[in-house]
Amino acid sequence: MPQHSADNPVRIAIIGAGAVSDYHHVPAIRLDPRSRLVAVCDASRELLEKRKSDWSCDRLTTDFQAVCADENVDAVIIATPNFTHREIVLAAAEHGKHVMCEKPLALNAAEVREMYAACQSAGVVHMTAFTYRFAPSMRYLRHLAHSGALGELRHFRSQRFLDWPETSWGWRQYKKQAGAGDLFDMTIHRIDFAIDLLGPLQSLCGAVARFAPRTKTTDGRDCPPSDVDDWSSLIAEVHSGATGVWEGTTLAKGYGFNGFGHEWAEINGSLASAVYRLHLPNQLMLGKTGQDLAPVDVP
């Protein structure tokens, strides 16, 4: 792998120029002088025109195959709807491009295994975007868990409650396009937290439910009803012997909190408990036995 520098940056193409590329990926590329945005691909010509000025990029196309075959591109960021990830990852791997593909990687495990095998045999770097893992508070929680400061790690708990409108979620509300609903959109990050902190899961059971029909778009037009979950609850055993529970929904009325909703992810160890909250990325709640949980700044 060559060493990259500002004079020899990784040349990145974005495929899927929607919301997450605008608020995560393009700002991240700009932060690191060793990376450069060289091309943008999106199915919408109108959005491409907007991104031309938003992102100051002239190489624009609606054809992801052309981007994957482009000799001036080293790596692609794939941030399209879930049902398109497989095909684009396979094309990128075929042309030897490094791949950062958004979560959920695909619609099911069989697709993900195929994508993984293609990237492995092409010898390209490949990853996904469990972004919250990199919040300072989550990294500190990981440090405490792995350094033994919490004692034996016994239990993980995640609650993610949002108070979102019951109107259409667009492609996200159809199983064929999204794979699953809130479970693949939000709870998936929290399953990643647990695996990152405690190691692989051994067994899992749970329930999902759909309460909101979502037959109206935000501008009042009719649309086919949602066929994915908008609520889930899971219980797991971890290989290490620990346990875990997850609750997630976008239908928790009264849980607006300036758009952050309620996020509570904690580990209970034999010596102490530690809590991560999304809206406070530089602080944990910590408590040893006999104490009450109290805020602690990330050092």
Ligand X SMILES: NC(=O)c1ccc[n+]([C@@H]2O[C@H](COP(=O)([O-])OP(=O)(O)OC[C@H]3O[C@@H](n4cnc5c(N)ncnc54)[C@H](O)[C@@H]3O)[C@@H](O)[C@H]2O)c1
- Contacts with ligand X, residue ranges (CB under 6 A): 15-21, 41-44, 47, 64, 79-82, 84, 102-103, 129, 131, 185
* Min dist. Cβ of residue 61 to ligand X (A): 9
* Min dist. Cβ of residue 37 to ligand X (A): 15
Nearest CB to ligand X, comparing residues 81 and 199: 81
* Min dist. Cβ of residue 92 to ligand X (A): 12
* Min dist. Cβ of residue 192 to ligand X (A): 10
* Min dist. Cβ of residue 226 to ligand X (A): 16
What are 4's two structure tokens? 């990259």
Nearest CB to ligand X, comparing residues 153 and 185: 185
Nearest CB to ligand X, comparing residues 17 and 92: 17
Residue nearest to ligand X (CB): 18
Nearest CB to ligand X, comparing residues 8 and 62: 62
Nearest CB to ligand X, comparing residues 21 and 137: 21
Dist. CA 32–CA 39, nearest whole Å: 17
Dist. CA 50–CA 18, nearest whole Å: 11
* Min dist. Cβ of residue 275 to ligand X (A): 21
Nearest CB to ligand X, comparing residues 9 and 18: 18
